[in-house]
Amino acid sequence: MTADTTSSEPGARTLFDHDPTALAELLASWKEPAFRGRQVLEWAYRHGVTSYDEMTNLPKGLRAKLAADAPLYESTIVRQQEASDRTVKLLLGWPDGTRSECVLIPDGTRRTACISTQVGCPVGCVFCASGLDGLQRQLTSGQIVEQAMRVRGLCGEDDRLSNVVFMGLGEPLANYEATVRAVRTINEAWGVGIGARKITVSTVGLPKQMRMLADEGLQITLALSLHAPTDELRRQIIPWAERVEIESLVEAANYFFQRTGREVTLEYILLGGLNDAPEHARQLASVSKRMRSNVNVLLYNPVEGLPYRRPTDANAERFVAIVAERGVNSHVRRSRGLDIDAACGQLRRREARLRGEA
């Protein structure tokens, strides 16, 4: 397995690609005073305006220059779906014709944005709609941040966006630079302003990049999609992880804990009849106990055209009970948005089919 750690989509850089230094440099090149940068960032992030015309204390000429050289939003909302549990899914269209998805998940007072890091996904987990089409391209850091801002725009005035999870389409650590830049912008007080501990990056497990992430000085949560407790079964479920052994993931997760003090969350998607036997639960507990981790069990959402099924509730409960009996902190995560195309990639695939592309 090789990981492309560069953002291969330079494209037009939007405002969301700029940190305060880059924006200051751009403004200085136009002989604009430094305070303009602070004004622009305040309008974009704190007030959430979607066009430079709304930045009323900026001269008109400057607004036009910024719109040309550092456009604000470059996506269009192609489709918006709301489930009965108030989960909202957005399908965004980018100027190059590609599309990606992001989701707002309300839960009590929590408002979580689930965002994508790539168009499509190279990993090809056998149970996943996104993996069926492979990777189309990397998203830029600005496009990743833009998704968080689009989802934030769905929150009502009294509902602040509280969490951001990098769990949409794609493997974040295979788009490493863009992902880390986006994490910083989402975290920074001048940016989206989400506390680091409320940001989760989910990976299928690239040991080298997990260690790099541990060294970034970020107090974020790392979620590791394990999905199987043995190398043999894991290779069946995640073919891309063919050359990654669980042992190397345990070592990388332990390094992450040493450097950040943050427990790793092991994600385990329960597939009926495949990885939900009591033996798997015992093996999972043993893997989990070799690192500082907790276990998050998800019940599979069936995907049209794929042969995998959802486990029964009884099997899922038994599975979690066995893991918990062994002293591992574990719980079942509720599926959200079942009445919309909520499994990752389903909305994008359906749209593509309608357009005759898949």
CB closer to ligand SF4 out of 124 and 142? 124
CA atoms 253, 228, 122, 116: torsion sign: negative
Give the CA distances from residue 326 to residues 1, 286, 295, 330, in Å, rounded to whole numbers and listed in that order: 33, 8, 12, 10
Q: Kindly tell me which of 169 and 218 has the beta carbon lying closer to ligand SF4.
A: 169
The least distance separating ligand SF4 from the CB of residue 234, rounded to whole angstroms, comes to 12
Contacts to ligand SF4 from residues 327-346, by CB under 6 A: 344
Q: Smallest gap, in angstroms, from Cβ of residue 264 to ligand SF4?
A: 16
Strand intervals (E) in the chain = 76-82, 88-93, 99-107, 110-114, 118-120, 135-138, 163-166, 199-203, 221-225, 264-270, 293-299, 330-333
Which of 32, 101, 146, 351 is flagged as catalytic?
101
Nearer to ligand SF4 among residue 58 and residue 182 (C-beta): 182
Alpha-carbon distance of 221 to 115, in angstroms, equals: 15
Provide the minimum distance between the beta carbon of 21 and ligand SF4 in the complex, in angstroms, as a whole number: 33
Question: Segment near ligand SF4 (CB under 6 A), from 164-172, 216-224, 279-287, 295-303?
Answer: 164-172
Among 41, 70, 149, 169, interactor with ligand SF4 by CB under 6 A: 169
Q: Catalytic residue among 125, 128, 344, 351, which?
A: 344
Q: Which is nearer to ligand SF4, 27 or 303 (CB)?
A: 303
> What whole-number distance in Å separates Cα of residue 14 and Cα of residue 305?
38
Question: Nearest approach, Cβ of 324 to ligand SF4 (angstroms)?
Answer: 25
Residue-level length of the chain: 358
**Closest distance to ligand SF4 from the beta carbon of 348 (Å):** 11
* Pair 316, 270: CB distance under 8 Å: yes
Q: Does residue 171 bind ligand SF4 (CB under 6 A)?
A: yes
Query: Considering the rule CB under 6 A, would residue 347 count as an interface residue with ligand SF4?
Result: no
DSSP 52-111: GGG-TTS-HHHHHHHHHHS-S---EEEEEEE-TT--EEEEEE-TTS-EEEEEEEEETTEE
Q: Whole-number minimum distance, CB 124 to ligand SF4, in Å? A: 5
> What three-state secondary structure class fits 294?
strand
d(CA 224, CA 221): 10
344 given a catalytic annotation: yes
How many residues touch ligand SF4 under the rule CB under 6 A: the total is 12
Going by the DSSP 8-state scheme, the letter that residue 267 receives in this structure is E
Write out the two tokens for 192: 């989206």
Question: What mask, x for binding ligand SF4 by CB under 6 A, covers residues 117 to 156?
Answer: ----x-xxx--x-xx-------------------------
Cα–Cα distance for residue pair 48/185, rounded to 1 Å: 14
From the list 114, 145, 204, 226, which residue makes contact with ligand SF4 (rule: CB under 6 A)? 204
Active site residue 177: no
Residues that bind ligand SF4 (CB under 6 A): 121, 123-125, 128, 130-131, 169-171, 204, 344
Q: Give catalytic residue positions.
A: 101, 344
